[in-house]
Amino acid sequence: MTWLTPWSAFWLLLALVPILLALYILRLRRARQLVPCTSLWTEAAEDVQANTPFQRLRRNLLLLLQLIALLLIALAIAQPRIEAAAGRGERTVLLVDCSASMQAYDGGGGRTRFEAAADAAMGVVDRLHPGGWFSDEGGQTMIVSLGAGADIVQPFTGSRSVLRAAIGRLEPQDTTAELGDGLNMARAWASEPNPDEPRALSEPARIEVFTDGGLIDLDDVATRDNPIMVHLVGEGTAANRTVQSVAAERSAEDPDAVQVFASLWNWTIEPRDERVQMSLDGGAVHIEDVRLPAGRLDEDGAITPGRRDMVFTPATRPDAVLVEVRLIGDDIFPLDDVAWTVVPARESVRVMLAAGTDSMMARAIRAVPGVTLQEFSDDVSSSDVLVLDRVDVSILPDAPTLSIDTTLPSSMVSWNQRRGAESMAIGDFRHPVLRGGSPIDLWVGQPQGVAIDASVRAVLRGENGPLVLAWEEAGHRRVHIAFDPARSSWPWDPTFMSFLVDTLDWLAWRSGGETAGNGVAGGSVAVRLPEGVEQAVAISIRNDLQPLRGRSGGRAAWGPVTTAGPWLVRWDTPQRGHSVVAVQLPAAIEGDLSRPEQLMIGGEAVDNGASLGRSVPLWPWAIGASLLVLMIEWAVFTRRIA
């Protein structure tokens, strides 16, 4: 019960109760009346004779009733409100946070935060829809899960059993969650719950959020006019340590060797001794005891974790391999104690070079690890990448192409006269081919003049036009260097080789046969299926099944993926086979499991969970009760004087 104006009632009682009592204590100032004989009046008067202005306060039913009426009026002025079941026509949306952090085991009583939130949601459903003779079944409640997206688990209904069953169907996800999606969905549904039965809506739906405060968009959400109540779950005091990230790649010098990197974070302010295990394809290959440095407690109370980056001894694995890094031992949040990644199998890129073998580009390509240089032939499909080094062709090759200082018959690029020498370049470092960096002080002699369509990206741009182009045309990726590298300073720049490696990787991607891959929970995961595979199934470590259907190019995708960890993609036809995809936790999920005391949504503090259901004002009842008491008092009074 809450009181809106308790002090008003206090001052009212403080002022009126003494006055009321004084009216009974102080003797009434009566009109004097001379009568022949007062003895005739004595017994009926029931008054006492006293010469003092006060009289003893006697038990008086009228005084008691008047005090009760006064108290009830004061109660009404205090404006008490209670939380009660939803009234007829009221709508409530329950948003349940199903994100990864809700799987921490600090929900109380050995429960996870998610289980605690589900229990709290059950409790709210029970209060909103109590059932029984005196309940108001007019309220409508909707349940929305917040995970990889906002999903309506149960549209508006007034059935408690249906709502409880819907809550029972909720499952935690290894993803982040955004409140904004849920609010937008709740508002959309609450504004018109049933298009077939439009009705006037007088009040916005009440929204109750069950979360640990880990929703990632709280600063960007506007509460608008929807009353929002938050039920914070989790104790938020438990220590945690995480395998924050794991990465693995093949060595450039030895593609058979797999190099594994891991970053371990300690979210406590004490150093921790931990045992780390690195496994390849499920077999432990490295176990090491490490000390994680202590985290640092900032002035605002937040913890900056202590970090320990590990580089494991390279292991030889020419085939695709699933890498797992795990912290041995239990803590309250096991989900982030392990991380996986998949290293694709070593596979050489077949490069067909149309140029002299003793050219500068030939020597450079030959230096790229994992590249098999082929002699030029008419069967370009036998190669993964066709390199045209200053060789003009009459038709656009049916293969990924790296063209150098030549004129491709492209419909998306037109060729103009050469430009003058340029000494400056701006790279689009977001493009994969410049992942290793772009040259800064580049001198280029007589680059080609080109005009490009909007779909062609100028990966490297000089003073007067594009220098390196990347686009897709006729089903293949194309990269064009609009100048002769031999007549530029780029080969002497370290970024040239990284450009070459990244370009060959990027070009070979579409034509490559790699089936293993990585993904992030909450997003879609794509996998390339072998030629001829039309149907497959993806199985998570929690035995989630996801049927896949091969699409053009052999790619299959599913999502949003809500379970982190390795997924086994299996197919039976035309030949039985499988591949592995590692789905990692989103980087936005931090190991800081601290829980805010009060949730801030859009910069505004939101009431925390103390209030359930609708807020019902009690002052009309108090006024009604006071009137009833006054009527009783009047009846008693008239009965006395009658």
When the beta carbons of 52 and 575 are compared against another protein, the nearer one is: 52
Determine the Cα–Cα distance for residues 190 and 213; give it in Å rounded to an integer. 24
For another protein, the binding residues in 28-67 under the rule CB under 8 A are: 28, 30-45, 47, 49
Residue 476 near residue 400 (C-beta atoms within 8 A): yes
For another protein, the binding residues in 10-29 under the rule CB under 8 A are: 27-28
φ and ψ at 85, to 5 degrees? Answer: -65, 155
Which ranges in 288-376 belong to alpha helices (H)?
360-366
When the beta carbons of 275 and 640 are compared against another protein, the nearer one is: 640
CB of 62 vs another protein, minimal distance in Å: 12
When the beta carbons of 15 and 35 are compared against another protein, the nearer one is: 35
CB of 60 vs another protein, minimal distance in Å: 13
394 touches another protein (CB under 8 A): no
Determine the Cα–Cα distance for residues 480 and 405; give it in Å rounded to an integer. 8
When the beta carbons of 25 and 285 are compared against another protein, the nearer one is: 25
Stretch that binds another protein, among 127-135, 578-586, 624-632, 634-642 (CB under 8 A): 634-642
For another protein, the binding residues in 536-565 under the rule CB under 8 A are: none
When the beta carbons of 15 and 28 are compared against another protein, the nearer one is: 28
CB of 27 vs another protein, minimal distance in Å: 7
Residue 159 near residue 135 (C-beta atoms within 8 A): no
CB atoms within 10 A of CB 596: 16
DSSP string over 254-303 = -TTEEEEEEEEEE-SSS-EEEEEEEEETTEEEEEEEEEEPPPEE-TTS-E
Q: Which amino acid is at 627?
A: L
Count of residues of this chain found to bind another protein when the rule CB under 8 A is applied: 23
When the beta carbons of 36 and 195 are compared against another protein, the nearer one is: 36
CB of 639 vs another protein, minimal distance in Å: 9
When the beta carbons of 545 and 641 are compared against another protein, the nearer one is: 641
When the beta carbons of 47 and 270 are compared against another protein, the nearer one is: 47
When the beta carbons of 47 and 604 are compared against another protein, the nearer one is: 47
Determine the Cα–Cα distance for residues 417 and 448; give it in Å rounded to an integer. 6
Residue 571 tokens read as 């197919």
CB atoms within 10 A of CB 143: 26
CB of 34 vs another protein, minimal distance in Å: 5
DSSP string over 367-436 = TSTTEEEEE--S-GGGSSEEEEES---SS--SS-EEEESS----SSEEEE-----B---EE-TTSGGGTT
Residue 500 tokens read as 């070459």
CB of 70 vs another protein, minimal distance in Å: 22
* Strand-pair partners of 450: 415
Of 282, 467, 254, 435, the closest CA to residue 346 belongs to: 254
φ and ψ at 519, to 5 degrees? Answer: -150, 175
When the beta carbons of 20 and 239 are compared against another protein, the nearer one is: 20
Determine the Cα–Cα distance for residues 401 and 405; give it in Å rounded to an integer. 13
CB of 46 vs another protein, minimal distance in Å: 8
CB of 638 vs another protein, minimal distance in Å: 10
Residue 365 tokens read as 């390509």
Contacts made by residues 375-380, CB under 8 angstroms, sequence distance 24+:
376/352, 377/352, 380/352
641 touches another protein (CB under 8 A): yes
CB of 635 vs another protein, minimal distance in Å: 15
1 touches another protein (CB under 8 A): no
Note the residues at the interface with another protein (CB under 8 A). 27-28, 30-45, 47, 49, 640-642
